[in-house]
Amino acid sequence: MDAAPAGSSASAAAPTTGFRKLRKLGKPRRRRLGSRYALIGALFVAPAALYALVIDFGPVLYGFYLSFTKYSPISRSGPKPVGLDNYRTLLSDPEFGKALLVTGRYVLQVLPVTVAIALGLALLANKAFRGVSLFRTALYVPHVVSLTAVSMIWLWIYSDQGLINDALSLFGLPPQKWLVTEGSALNAASAMRVWKALGSNMVLLLAGLQTIPRDLYEAARVDGANAWQQFKAVTLPGLRPMLTYVVAMDIIFLAQGFSEIYVLTAGGPLGSTTTVNYLIYTEAFQYNRMGNASAMAFVLFAFIAGLSIVAIRLGQGRRT
Amino acid sequence: MRQWPRVAVLAFVTGLVLLPFAWMISLAFTPEHEAFTGASLIPQHPTLDNFVAAAKTADLGRAFTNSAIVTSVAVLTNCIVPVIAGYAFAHLPFRGSRLVFYALISTAAIPVAVTLIPLFLMAKNFPLAGGNDILGHGGSGLLDSLGGLMMPYLAGTMNIFVSRQYFSGLDRDYAEAARIDGAGELRIFTRVYLPLARPLIALVAVFSFTGVWDDFLWPLVVSASAKSTTVQLAITTFASSGNTRYGALMAATILVSAPVLVVFLLNQRRFIAGLSEGGIKG
């Protein structure tokens, strides 16, 4: 991060810079504490651990069980075990297959555009100049406002008399129904997600850029490397860990797209924006098919894990 | 590259990124009939009517009260439960504590959809709530209640991670010294380390605040009436009622987003530092 500012905000910057070093120094001195302290340590952890057991681990296990059952919360009987039926049905369910494709396409068309633009912006902002933090803050605003709220703004932007159709009319082009046309609805949502993720990606990549030692650029310049060669030989390798992190995070968030779909298109037209998360929601809470929805959730889990692992492998692979 | 083209490009992109917000503000102050005939970025006849309309519809007042209560409780519990756990992981390790730590932070990788249905059923079958008997049958449990809204927000596991990172950076000798003076462990935590952890508490508070205030899917599932509506749910009622009144919708969106924006702008350094450290969520 940038140089520590004066006064109280200096302590605020501490989490990133100061104590990383301290931690390294502190490690060798670690020694076993008495068992009394260990007991107290366990007691301090207990509330958080118990809560996670009830709110995270329990539900994951129960959800996994539900995915092998048929269950409607309205009926008087409990979940009825059906073995692998739900998963088998999903294999041949065109609606679910389409939702997976939509989700995959959504991730793949938002991710590269966002990361590329964010990287460009981070490179521009990396040279320190007055006011750079102003740009950083401004670009970050879309990330802070909830997905639901920004979707409301974009609902207007894409509307008949909204910003985009207004701009088209300047060129004498007819207005388009962006959100209710099968060909454009998912792209419309994607454009909004690019806009929303830009700032946070840029901030992270900028933090990554600032960890690259300046002397490496010096050395490259001495060796006669031009800007592009410097970018390939110094910037990209140095940025790789942060780039990998950013891509993995983007995948995890984008693959769970829901609020924007709910607001902008409600999954339509003709299921062209029905992401897996949206399908799970309708399956579970409109049709009360909890077992089937749970199976979908675990396939989504595997899908996200798979994509993230591929991204992380790619991110680490070329370094060696 | 020279300075000015760099700044010019950044300024242009920043302008584009902020443009939707400029229009949001503009529309909120534009009379409804004008918005339909072609609004301009600077409203010709600025009005507060949209804010009045927004406040009247969609139980916005109720939503604000509910969201404020739920968020406050979540911020409070998140500043205690995960923080004290993170402290123990850093300074009071016990047999297997590393394993417990990694198990806890691994939950951050679980997609929301996986736990959503079980959590819903848990809220529904919560014992002795909403007319349920001790076995959790017969009533609606915590559904459509503030308790149900709060249920999954109380102790985020990422906050344990951030807390352990922070306390690992603080010297252990303080604790040793206090122990020699005969202080108990809880006292050492509250009197020695907690006062040093104010930046951490602020970070946890800010992230918990925005995370809970902005959440949409869980309230959508658990809330069934105005009784437990939240700000994010309230704004969607404007959009889903057929002929959307964009002026009132934008006014409501501004009101709902203002608290997080204020919190962000007041804490932006901390926020961005925390994000870079790995506290990214939502």
pLDDT of residue A1: 33
Look up the ipTM and state it.
0.89
Residue bearing the bigger pLDDT, A113 or B41: A113
Q: How many CB pairs under 8 A join A and B?
A: 310
Is the same domain home to B226 and B138?
yes
Instruction: Judge if pTM exceeds 0.95.
Output: no
pLDDT of residue B276: 63
Nearest CA to A276 among A291, A288, A261? Answer: A261
A12 pLDDT more than 50: no
Cβ distance B198 to A11 less than 8 Å, yes or no, reads yes
Task: Give the closest-approach CA distance of B269 to chain A in angstroms.
Answer: 7
In a domain, B122, yes or no: yes
Is the same domain home to B1 and B98?
no
pLDDT of residue B38: 65
pLDDT of residue A28: 42
In a domain, B282, yes or no: no
- CA dihedral (B101, B103, B105, B108) in degrees, to 10, reads -170
Of A44, A136, A249, the CB nearest to B84: A44
In a domain, A171, yes or no: no
pLDDT of residue A109: 95
Task: Give the closest-approach CA distance of B167 to chain A in angstroms.
Answer: 9
Of A38, A135, A297, the CB nearest to B14: A135
Is the same domain home to B29 and B65?
no
Is the same domain home to B209 and B74?
yes
Q: Residues 214 to 243 of A: which have CB under 8 A from any B CB?
A: none
pLDDT of residue A320: 41
Q: Residues 188 to 207 of A: which have CB under 8 A from any B CB?
A: 195, 198-200, 203-204, 207
Residue bearing the bigger pLDDT, A295 or A33: A295
The count of structural domains within chain B is: 2
pLDDT of residue B279: 41
Per-residue pLDDT of A282-291, as tens digits, reads 999 999 999 9
User: Which residues does chain B have with pLDDT short of 70?
Assistant: 1-2, 36-39, 58, 240-243, 274-282
pLDDT of residue A274: 95
| Helix/strand/coil percent split, chain A, to 5 | 70, 0, 25
Closest chain A residue to the Cα of B37, Cα to Cα: A161
The CATH number covering residue B222 comes to 1.10.3720.10
Which has the minimum average pLDDT: A218-222, A304-308, B102-106, B275-279? B275-279
Contact B58, A187 (CB under 8 A): no
Task: Give the closest-approach CA distance of B99 to chain A in angstroms.
Answer: 12
In a domain, A169, yes or no: no
pLDDT of residue B257: 94
- Partners of residue A157 in chain B, C-beta under 8 Å: 20, 23
Q: Does A211 touch chain B (CB under 8 A)?
A: no
Which has the minimum average pLDDT: A176-180, A247-251, B83-87? A176-180
Contact B24, B250 (CB under 8 A): yes
Within 13 Å, how many C-alpha atoms sit on residue B181's CB side? 11
Q: Does A113 touch chain B (CB under 8 A)?
A: no
Q: At what angle do helices A276-285 and B112-124 cross, to 10 degrees?
A: 20
> For tokens 């910003």, what's the residue?
A163
Q: Which domain covers residue A263, as residue numbers?
A: 84-151+179-317
Q: What is the CA radius of gyration of chain A?
A: 24
The CATH number covering residue A199 comes to 1.10.3720.10
Task: Give the closest-approach CA distance of A179 to chain B in angstroms.
Answer: 13
Q: Is A46 left (phi over 0), alpha (psi -120 to 50) or beta?
A: alpha
Nearest CA to B75 among B150, B166, B147? Answer: B150
pLDDT of residue A10: 32
Is the same domain home to B42 and B177?
no
Is the same domain home to B149 and B188?
yes
Q: Which domain covers residue B159, as residue numbers?
A: 58-277
Is the same domain home to B63 and B93?
yes
Cβ distance B249 to A51 less than 8 Å, yes or no, reads no
pLDDT of residue A69: 94
Over residues A74-93, the mean pLDDT reads 89
The count of structural domains within chain A is: 1
Per-residue pLDDT of B159-196, as tens digits, reads 999 999 999 888 888 888 888 888 888 889 998 899 99
Is the same domain home to B14 and B68?
no
Is the same domain home to B197 and B112?
yes
Closest chain A residue to the Cα of B79, Cα to Cα: A48
Is the same domain home to B205 and B264?
yes
In a domain, B250, yes or no: yes
In a domain, B166, yes or no: yes
Per-residue pLDDT of A128-167, as tens digits, reads 677 778 888 899 899 989 999 999 999 989 988 888 888 8
Longest dimension (CA), chain B: 77
Is the same domain home to B38 and B151?
no
- Partners of residue B199 in chain A, C-beta under 8 Å: 11-12, 14-15
Nearest CA to A66 among B249, B115, B28, B206? Answer: B115
Beta partners for residue A70, in sequence order: A80
pLDDT of residue B132: 82
pLDDT of residue A30: 46
Task: Give the closest-approach CA distance of A67 to chain B in angstroms.
Answer: 10
In a domain, B53, yes or no: no
Cβ distance A138 to B17 less than 8 Å, yes or no, reads yes
Is the same domain home to B188 and B110?
yes
Within 13 Å, how many C-alpha atoms sit on residue A291's CB side? 18
In a domain, B52, yes or no: no
pLDDT of residue B275: 65
